[in-house]
Amino acid sequence: MNPSTALARVLVDELARCGLVEAVVAPGSRSTPLALALVAHPGIRVHVRVDERSASFLALGLARASRRPVAVVCTSGTAAANFHPAVMEADESGVPLLVLTADRPPELRGTGANQTVDQIGLYGGAVRMFTEVGTPDPAPGMVAYWRSLTCRAWAAALGGRPGPVHLNVAFRDPLTPDQTAGDGSTWTAPLDGRPDGRPWISRPGPHDEPAPYVLPDVERGVIVCGDGDYDPVPFLALSELTGWPLLAEPTSNARRAGAISTYRQLLAAPGFADAHTPELVVSVGRPNLSRQVLAYLRRAARHVVVTAASVGDARASLPDDFSDPARTATDVVAAVAPPAGVGGRAPERTAWSLSWERAEDAARRVVDGVLDAEETLSEPRLARDLVAQPAAGALLFAGASMPIRDLDATMHARCGVRLVGNRGVSGIDGTVSTAIGAALAHQRESDAPAYALLGDLALLHDQNGLIIGPGEPRPDLAIVVVNNDGGGIFSGLEQAGHPDFERVFGTPHGVSMERVAAVADLPYTRVEWATDLPKALLGEGLRIVEVRTTRAGSAALRRRLQDAVDAAVAHQG
């Protein structure tokens, strides 16, 4: 066996022993040993994509939904650079990703050799670990080095804060197993791993859970659940026990019964935030979706940030790993407990909690009233109705820009639907591929359907994600696209008044999603009326549902929603 094949087979075998079950491969020559080793392994499902950026975001989606590392492989050169946006998203959102970039051997670097760039530390500080694996030379101890390194990489991806790991693997020719005959290049050392399929390095069980921080007993407390893959149940229980209102972003998956679903409009209503200044805010995750929440955090005299570990990882996040975008944190803790004595008494219903509940009821009524006044399917109504449709167990991927914000503004509290999105860097690149990856991972464990709510620019930015070769795994995923012919998020910002707004920010494209669906040979449906949405969502496989709107009309509707909440709050006094 030639050295390149030996290295690739050992790396893949050890990854499988650690728990790898999904891998994404972008085709290329220098990465041939890794690609062949992956497709030959019976325990790993391999996905092939022609575009490295789509491949890396597909891996990101698979890892995000499955909560376990996924490998993504490419050849050398610009292929590795195309992984960078997904690596950045994985870093910021704490998604375990194993980035395996093939490279030329050292003797070809810096010589002008074809498809050779400097890949050492390519992703900078965005990775939890980088290793230049080195060339596979037949020297003593190499197998132990490769296997122990693989175990370290796996552990780094799943560490206190999960994230991407980069292994740069240099391969010399020959790159395929069938090129070794008569070339004198052999591998004589045993390649076997530990007995019984065990990983080379076994690790002890999870660390003991940290002692929770006992919160002070105050009336005017608020719980803010931002984006993140943590268990929301303790924070829902804390809200129930204390009476503190819970403000939950959609991708926190904490917007369940009892949560304040209209907090975005309430905090923007004149006088409401002034009348509801908190003594204490407890936050978890990344609360950065709305300006209203960030401004509200600055009002609190005390702000306790909880560095909750990811679901499936019993270890607390590192003490210096916490989200504090408003720079208001006064205490950073690994876990919290209700104030002393609260757990032994009936759930609190104070003047503070009742005031929030009355405001929520009033705001909820007027928001739904404005949305239901017209049967035409608007962007805010689409978001509200789409998340309300699926049965328990479904997955909904929310695109950046306006889709996630419309969900935040209109979504009712509900259980049973898991919401995910690329909220680490909040870019629109790779959105289609991430949604497909998330759906594939979700449906590996469940028969439940999956949906994605995307904007038109996000779909056009990642059209390649729709190109899936014959025989490749395909998800049951309805991609619902809001087509307002450009960048809708800018219509609500200060740029909207600039004379060059339409060209520079609106960026009209004139592309129908039906044409995009035709290129990818996908089923297509266009929906105009709200009552037709449930029927349009029916179907199997990958499909596109288009809803056409206007940017100006959507911006005006969002202003009407806020005006209606302002009036309802003012009427309450």
Q: Are 299 and 273 in contact (CB under 8 A)?
A: yes
Is residue 318 pLDDT above 90, yes or no?
no
Asked if residue 346 and residue 381 are part of one domain, the reply reads no
- The whole-number average pLDDT for the span 260-276 is 96
d(CA 259, CA 282): 14
Would 392 be classed as within a structural domain? yes
d(CA 265, CA 367): 9
CA dihedral 372, 376, 379, 381 (to 10 degrees): 20
Helix %, strand %, coil % for the chain, to 5?
Answer: 40, 15, 45
Question: For residue 451, what are the domain limits?
Answer: 374-569
Q: pLDDT by residue (tens digit) across 66-120?
A: 999 999 999 999 999 999 999 999 999 999 999 999 998 888 788 878 778 889 9
Q: What are phi and psi of 527, to 5 degrees?
A: -120, 135
pLDDT at residue 540, rounded to an integer: 94
Which of 342-346, 406-410, 555-559 has the lowest average pLDDT?
342-346
Would 367 be classed as within a structural domain? no
- The whole-number average pLDDT for the span 422-446 is 95
Which of 52-61, 337-346, 481-490, 560-569 has the lowest average pLDDT?
337-346
Asked if residue 141 and residue 60 are part of one domain, the reply reads yes
pLDDT at residue 190, rounded to an integer: 86
Would 190 be classed as within a structural domain? no
Asked if residue 227 and residue 323 are part of one domain, the reply reads yes
Query: Residues for the chain: how many in total?
Result: 573
Q: What are phi and psi of 186, to 5 degrees?
A: -130, 165
- The whole-number average pLDDT for the span 348-354 is 87
- The whole-number average pLDDT for the span 46-60 is 97
Asked if residue 515 and residue 440 are part of one domain, the reply reads yes
Nearest Cα neighbor of 546 from 495, 499, 508, 511 is 511
d(CA 458, CA 464): 12
Which of 274-283, 318-327, 357-366 has the lowest average pLDDT?
318-327
Q: What are phi and psi of 214, to 5 degrees?
A: -80, 120
- How many Cβ atoms from other residues are within 10 Å of residue 110's Cβ? 10
- How many Cβ atoms from other residues are within 10 Å of residue 139's Cβ? 9
Asked if residue 257 and residue 174 are part of one domain, the reply reads no
Q: Classify residue 327 as exposed, middle or buried by CB count within 10 Å of its CB (0-12, 13-18, 19+).
A: exposed
Would 206 be classed as within a structural domain? no
Nearest Cα neighbor of 33 from 184, 182, 190, 178 is 178
Is residue 311 pLDDT above 60, yes or no?
no
pLDDT at residue 342, rounded to an integer: 76
Peptide bond into 174 cis (omega under 30): yes
- The whole-number average pLDDT for the span 287-301 is 93
d(CA 283, CA 324): 9
Across the chain, mean pLDDT equals 91
d(CA 146, CA 148): 6
Residue at which a domain ends, from 161, 182, 203: 182
Q: Are 431 and 461 in contact (CB under 8 A)?
A: yes
Q: pLDDT by residue (tens digit) across 366-380?
A: 999 999 999 999 999
- DSSP line for 98-132: EEEEEE--GGGTTTT-TT----TTTTGGGSSEEEE
Higher-confidence position of 365 and 111:
365
Q: Are 287 and 281 in contact (CB under 8 A)?
A: no
Is residue 121 pLDDT above 60, yes or no?
yes
d(CA 423, CA 399): 9
Amino acid 289 reads L
Describe the strand order of the beta sheet including 280-284 as a list of residue ranges. Answer: 246-248, 221-225, 280-284, 302-306, 331-333
Higher-confidence position of 503 and 331:
331
**345 Cβ contact partners less than 8 Å away, ≥ 6 residues apart:** none
Would 355 be classed as within a structural domain? no
Tell me which residue has tokens 């690790």. Answer: 203
* CATH number of the structural domain spanning residue 509: 3.40.50.970
Asked if residue 294 and residue 417 are part of one domain, the reply reads no
Share of the chain above pLDDT 70, in %: 92
Asked if residue 380 and residue 497 are part of one domain, the reply reads yes
Residue at which a domain ends, from 133, 165, 182: 182
Bridge partners (DSSP) listed for residue 168: 101, 132
Asked if residue 564 and residue 511 are part of one domain, the reply reads yes
Q: Are 467 and 432 in contact (CB under 8 A)?
A: no
Q: Are 463 and 454 in contact (CB under 8 A)?
A: no
Nearest Cα neighbor of 53 from 88, 79, 91, 22 is 79
Q: Are 382 and 547 in contact (CB under 8 A)?
A: yes
**166 Cβ contact partners less than 8 Å away, ≥ 6 residues apart:** 87, 99, 101, 122, 123, 127, 129, 130, 131
d(CA 269, CA 572): 12
Terminal-residue alpha carbon distance, the chain: 80
Q: What are phi and psi of 40, to 5 degrees?
A: -85, -15
HSE value, Cβ hemisphere, 13 Å, CA-based, for 240: 13
Higher-confidence position of 68 and 505:
68
Which of 11-20, 58-67, 131-140 has the lowest average pLDDT?
131-140
**549 Cβ contact partners less than 8 Å away, ≥ 6 residues apart:** 377, 378, 379, 482, 483, 484, 488
Q: pLDDT by residue (tens digit) across 451-467?
A: 999 999 999 999 999 99
Question: Which CA distances in Å does 146 have to 98, 102, 143, 424, 501?
Answer: 15, 15, 5, 31, 54
Asked if residue 283 and residue 393 are part of one domain, the reply reads no
> Is the sign of the CA dihedral 487, 491, 493, 495 positive or negative?
positive
d(CA 75, CA 104): 9
Would 193 be classed as within a structural domain? no
Is residue 298 pLDDT above 50, yes or no?
yes
What's the predicted TM-score (pTM) here? 0.93
Is residue 445 pLDDT above 50, yes or no?
yes
- The whole-number average pLDDT for the span 6-28 is 97
Would 358 be classed as within a structural domain? no
Is residue 56 pLDDT above 50, yes or no?
yes
**Which DSSP letter does residue 301 get?**
S
Asked if residue 547 and residue 457 are part of one domain, the reply reads yes
Q: Given pLDDT bands bounded at 50, 70 and 90, which one contains residue 341?
A: confident
d(CA 28, CA 101): 11
Asked if residue 381 and residue 493 are part of one domain, the reply reads yes
Domains: count for the chain: 3
Is residue 313 pLDDT above 50, yes or no?
no
Q: pLDDT by residue (tens digit) across 160-199?
A: 789 999 999 999 989 998 654 444 445 667 899 999 999 9
Asked if residue 542 and residue 418 are part of one domain, the reply reads yes
Is residue 256 pLDDT above 70, yes or no?
yes
HSE value, Cβ hemisphere, 13 Å, CA-based, for 466: 22
Would 35 be classed as within a structural domain? yes
Q: pLDDT by residue (tens digit) across 523-558?
A: 999 999 999 999 999 999 999 999 999 989 999 999
Q: What kind and span of H or E run contains 168?
A: strand 164-170
